[in-house]
Amino acid sequence: MKIITWNCNMAFRKKAEPIFAYNPDILVVPECENPEKLSFAEGLQTPDDIIWHGKNQNKGIGIFAFNNYKLKLLDCHNTNFKNILPISVTKDKEEFMLFAIWANNPGDKDGAYVTQVWKALKYYEDLLSETNTILIGDFNSNTIWDKPRREGNHSTVVAKLEAKKIYSTYHTFFNQVQGKEAHPTWYLYRHQDKPYHLDYCFASADFMENLKSVEVGKYEDWSMYSDHKPLIVEFNAKP
């Protein structure tokens, strides 16, 4: 299974072709327009299923399933965590829990960005498992911005997930340390000299045992489309 996240910086309909070329099974796209506004170029693969959530019809979060995967937004979705979506993903006898994430709430008086992820993890505690669980998307966070006195910083989110045996695919595959990533996923104002790592895919232990590859898009290939680069993760089929 190949799962990809890419914050497209809006107008996804004009940018879908290069990301569809990777033949994803699941694609998570922050800053995606409502599917009613989507009209993909002729010849592109048509998604088998789509979930979209957002108040701004031009800028929500879209989740696209291909190759016979199906999506269902769970009834327990807490709209206080508007763009952190608990989704059941199924295909034949395969089923797993997907949290599609876009931490984009700068005006939250109780804590923005990664603090919302922290709150959501506590709210969805019972859905987090060492099996059949993936969290993926634009977390808008990194350990370098930790505020030590804030409970819900990036490092505490990572630690909470690791306590559930859910690990960062990128950091595991490339043997990287949080906050010292060699492969940026975001460039401030698209400036190559202002790189950061903000996009993540965390997966439970059973997925990690079958981790096949992780790739981060190159600056030269993607800067014409967005300040973010795609994170592409592939797992071998479970035995």
Which of 153, 164, 178 has the alpha carbon at shortest distance from 206?
164
CA 159 to centroid of chain Cα atoms: 18
Query: The pTM is what?
Result: 0.96
So what's the pLDDT on residue 82? 80
211 strand-pairing partners:
235
The ranges of the chain with pLDDT < 70 are: 106-111
Residue 51 backbone dihedrals phi, psi, to 5 degrees: -120, 135
So what's the pLDDT on residue 239? 82
Residue the block writes with tokens 């829990």: 97
Per residue in 100-131, pLDDT (tens digit) is 999 987 666 556 789 999 999 999 999 999 99
Helix (H) or strand (E) holding 231: strand 231-235
Structural domains of the chain, ranges and CATH numbers in brackets: 2-235 (3.60.10.10)
Residue the block writes with tokens 């769970």: 74
E strands in 43-158: 49-53, 60-65, 70-73, 84-91, 94-102, 133-138
